[in-house]
A and B are shown apart, each in its own frame.
Chain A
Amino acid sequence: MTTPLLKVENLRIALAGDGVTYDAVENVSFEIGRGEAFGLVGESGCGKSITALSVMGLLRRPLSLAGGRIILDGKEIQNVSAAEMRRLRGKRIAMIFQEPMTALNPLSPVGRQIAEMFVLHEGANWNEAMDRAEDALRQVRVPSPERRIKDYPHQLSGGMRQRVMIAIALACGPDLLVADEPTTALDVTVQAEIIDLMAELCAAKGTAVLMISHDLGLVANMCQRVAVMYAGRIVESQVADAIFATPTHPYTQGLIDSLPRLGERARRGRQKLSEISGVVPSIANYPAGCRFNPRCPAVTDVCRTIVPEATPLPADGVVRCHHHG
């Protein structure tokens, strides 16, 4: 087997509170192959975004890496120096964020922000870099890029800003693109276009994607494999099609069943939506054992005391549930 591009092993992220430390992410492991799109799905607070930040080496207090390894292309990167990480970031791994307005520099024209990538990482001079920035804007299908490179972020619409973010992220042809809810702030018709654009450019450049989202449908459309997180742990990971066809963890099953889906009412009439009872636990009150146990329809005594181990599923899938099989 070839070495995966990114391997995250037993990742543990600590959150320092008032004299106490919580595990915000615990035992998270996954692999992403070259050119593969991998999705990490979960609700707010489940730890998916900080997992992405840890891959980028961007965890800041009160969050810190408390254990585990992050291996990029065979090399451990969780302990490299800040200078080394800066060289990796943007060049080998790049990230796009949910809100492009807060991620772009408001005081700098967008062309310059793209060109900076070529200057910093490839030693290009500014003239050449600006020409390449114009090409990059053309690639993300910003209309009349020769004028747009002089625009400031506030002069662009949300969708255009996200295109600029994608142009910056993909400027140096990174091996891995980390996309944290890249379309959540956008309108649905614009979202569809941006996702298609991202998928197309990454496929053309052979860039792998780590996509973070709360929208299981969106992730399953874009990614080959999907992992579902709940309360700081991965509860299930499967091939994207399989996660809808045969969801295995009760949380995944509950999520998929609870969403009203297009076409369902015409097919079966209006059925009452199945509910997941209870609420997402807060990090200070994570239950013992399986963290989904207070909300799980199949809960038994063992779920309340013992953390379930990972059980393999077909095609490299994994589920963490005592009642699987």
Chain B
Amino acid sequence: MAEPLLSLDDLAVHFKVGNALAGGIKTLKAVDGVTLDVKPGECLGLVGESGCGKSTLALAIMGLLPPTRGAMNVDGQQISGATPPDRMKMARTVQMVFQDPYASLNPRQTVRRTLADPLRLHGITDKAEVEARVIDMMAKVGLRPEQADRYPHEFSGGQRQRIGIARALILKPKLVLCDEPVSALDVSIRAQIINLLLELKDEMGLAYIMISHDLGVVEHVSDRVAVMYLGRIVEQGGWQEIFENPRHPYTRALIAAIPDPFHRAAISADAKARGEIASALNPPSGCHFNPRCPLKADICTAEYPAFGEVSPGHRAACHFRDRVG
């Protein structure tokens, strides 16, 4: 079995918020004990709604936020709160594609400069080689060589996202974090970008963490899926397990919430959740999902459920994981 490319061990990122003089300082547990593996060449779908901590988790994996607790191992590099990452080495291993291709590109840099700068920073100074790699990368994402001297505003949203992808891949990383890579794009453009990401994954042997709230996209691209709710992973498993036989009521609610004009999803509409997501500053006691859960019982408010195994590789943090469905 292959060594994992990324492994997180009980990783937590907490923030202090508030003011000691007004209301007191509180701890926001944005990520609270996440254990997770990503193997080389694998695509892990990370699903959750706003405020669940998925973007904080992404920043921690990028090495941009120090973990409060726990540790992570990125391609052999051990990182914890006490041992900060080697930024240069991280940049050659993990890269990120952002949601908004308008905000994430420097408007004053041409495509060539956007793509060439990382190469120079990482010691490739030979002009001919830089040029060759820039043009080669542009071709891979479907941009023409003569577009290299244009600025971001001269491109459409879909093309800008191609530039963003090229920038992420130019250093030949092993893991790419895709944070909602298509949700800011026009609907008719999304398929192009999803297809491109999957082609590049095969061609360059990349591993992805695909962060999205669009379950259709996640099901399409992922090998495994992890579902987050209020800072914790509540269910994890192979894509087919998660979508065909979800065991956490929150996963079922997410799937039930998708308008399904073809009536093909395995989950019926009666699994929908009630109410709204609680604040991560003040999560409910016991299972965080209990105020919204259709299966709520006394034990759910008393203790947080174990992240127990449903079948090999499929785990769910629910007291009733064997009864759901």
Contact = CB atoms under 8 A, between A and B. Distances in A.
Interface of A: 43-44, 157, 159-160, 187-193, 196, 214-218, 220-221, 240-241, 244, 251, 254-255, 258-267, 270, 272-276, 279-280, 295
Contacts of A43: 186-188
A187 B216 contact: no
A279 B189 contact: yes
Interface stretch (B32-40, B73-81, B239-247): B239-247
A44 B243 contact: no
A208 B80 CA distance: 57
B259 A221 contact: yes
Contact of A273 (B50, B191, B259, B276): B191
A189 B215 CA distance: 12
Nearest to B190: A258
Interface stretch (B16-24, B95-103, B169-177, B250-258): B250-258
Given A188-B213, A275-B191, A262 B260 contact: yes
Contact of B216 (A160, A261, A266): A261
14 contacts: A43-B186, A157-B276, A187-B50, A192-B257, A217-B258, A258-B188, A259-B187, A260-B219, A262-B260, A262-B264, A275-B192, A276-B192, A279-B189, A280-B186
A262 B257 contact: no
Contacts of B244: 266
B274 A193 contact: yes
Contacts of A188: 49, 213, 215, 254, 257-258
Given A192-B257, A218-B259, A260 B194 contact: yes
B259 A260 contact: no
B158 interface: yes
B288 to A, nearest CB: 14
Contact of B220 (A196, A241, A265, A267): A265
Contacts of B276: 157, 159-160, 190
Contact of B188 (A160, A262, A270, A280): A280
B272 A193 contact: yes
Contacts of A251: 188
A259 B186 contact: no
A273 B220 contact: yes
A274 B187 contact: no
A245 to B, nearest CB: 9
A262 B260 CA distance: 8
Dominant SS at the B interface?
helix
Interface in B278-295: 292
A41 B266 CA distance: 26
Contacts of A241: 261
B125 interface: no
Nearest to B258: A262
B256 to A, nearest CB: 7
Interface residues of B, number: 46
B147 interface: no
Contacts of B189: 276, 279
B277 interface: yes
A264 B264 contact: yes
B258 A263 contact: no
B28 interface: no
Contacts of A259: 187, 190-191, 216
Contact of B194 (A262, A264, A273, A295): A273
Interface string B210-254: 000101110111000000000000000001100110000000011
B253 A255 contact: no
A260 B240 CA distance: 15
Given A44-B186, A221-B261, A189 B216 contact: no
Contacts of B274: 193
B272 A262 contact: no
Contacts of A220: 259, 261
Contact of B215 (A190, A255, A262, A276): A262
Contacts of A260: 191, 194, 216-217, 219-221
A92 to B, nearest CB: 29
Given A255-B188, A267-B264, A275-B191, A192 B256 contact: yes
A265 B240 CA distance: 9
Contacts of B213: 187-188
Most chain A Cβ neighbours within 10 Å, of B187, B220, B256, B264: B187
A263 B239 CA distance: 11
Contacts of A264: 219-220, 264
Contacts of B297: none
B220 A244 contact: no
A276 B254 contact: no
Interface string B105-123: 0000000000000000000
B49 A189 contact: yes
A193 B49 CA distance: 15
A270 B258 CA distance: 20
Nearest to A156: B276
